[in-house]
Amino acid sequence: MKLVTVLNFKGGCGKTFVAVVLAQLLMIAEKKTAVIDLDVQLNAVNYLRHVNGRNVFPGIDVIPSPGAAPDREALGAYDFVIADTPPAIIQNDVISATIERTDLFIIPVTLQRNALFGFDKTLELLPDGRPILPVCSMGPQAKTRGKRELLRLVREQLEDGDGDLLPAVFLPWYDRIDENLSARRDFFFLLREEEYTSFERLRDAVLNAVRPV
């Protein structure tokens, strides 16, 4: 089992979006996958379950667990377990325990200065020697001069990778996709071909990061 933890100090950076989309990508790749929702809001649970409590995607198990860290032994039957975390992670002992058990960290970031600050603060928390994958969601706002400058800075910092930091994956803006997920529908059929290629890069980066040497 490989534990992938999605985290960023700042809320609204796309942690739940990345977690549930990655789960679908791994399911499509025939990987037995579970999503553990460590946030008391249980947004990942709400995305992946119908109002009647049944899972939308039978190939993905959804585990609400805001008060307990993932138990690696109990989850050993899965290929991948994805932990969706709340913001303010340094204040949460459960998240600290999860970090210690994680094989791959994913840090989502949007083109906001506070999101970039959260990214840097999150890096300070993480132990050495384990891969960290930045995932940047770009949007229409990048057309403004300020957002274009932020995108340039993000690319300079994250595009090539350095040490534990893997080269970043850049995704299209997720407002339209997020709305579709809220409707409990598989979003991939609405993607343009160039958009889906970005998500394939996310899946491949995760699979390569945890591949045995």
Which pLDDT tens digit goes with each residue over 152-165?
Answer: 777 777 788 888 98
Q: Are strands 33-37 and 80-84 parallel, antiparallel or unpaired?
A: parallel
Predicted confidence at residue 184, as pLDDT, reads: 41
Domain span including residue 93: 2-206
Q: Is residue 21, in this structure, part of any structural domain at all?
A: yes
187 vs 127, higher pLDDT: 127
180 pLDDT band, cuts 50/70/90, is very low
**pLDDT average, residue stretch 41-66:** 78
Q: Is residue 213, in this structure, part of any structural domain at all?
A: no
Q: Is residue 211, in this structure, part of any structural domain at all?
A: no
Sequence-separated contacts (24+) of 57-64 with Cβ below 8 Å = 57/23, 57/24, 57/27, 57/186, 59/27, 59/32, 59/33, 60/23, 60/24, 60/27, 60/33, 60/34, 60/35, 61/33, 61/34, 61/35, 62/34, 62/35, 62/37, 63/34, 63/35, 63/36, 63/37, 64/37
204 pLDDT band, cuts 50/70/90, is very high
163 vs 194, higher pLDDT: 163
Q: Which two tokens stand for residue 7?
A: 């985290």
Q: Is residue 35, in this structure, part of any structural domain at all?
A: yes
Q: Is residue 61, in this structure, part of any structural domain at all?
A: yes
120 vs 204, higher pLDDT: 204
Based on the structure, what is the number of domains in the chain?
Answer: 1
CATH number at residue 89: 3.40.50.300
Question: Over 80: is that where the pLDDT of 139 sits?
Answer: no
Q: Is residue 80, in this structure, part of any structural domain at all?
A: yes
Question: Over 90: is that where the pLDDT of 81 sits?
Answer: yes
Q: Which two tokens stand for residue 24?
A: 């679908």
Mean pLDDT of the chain: 80
56 vs 174, higher pLDDT: 56
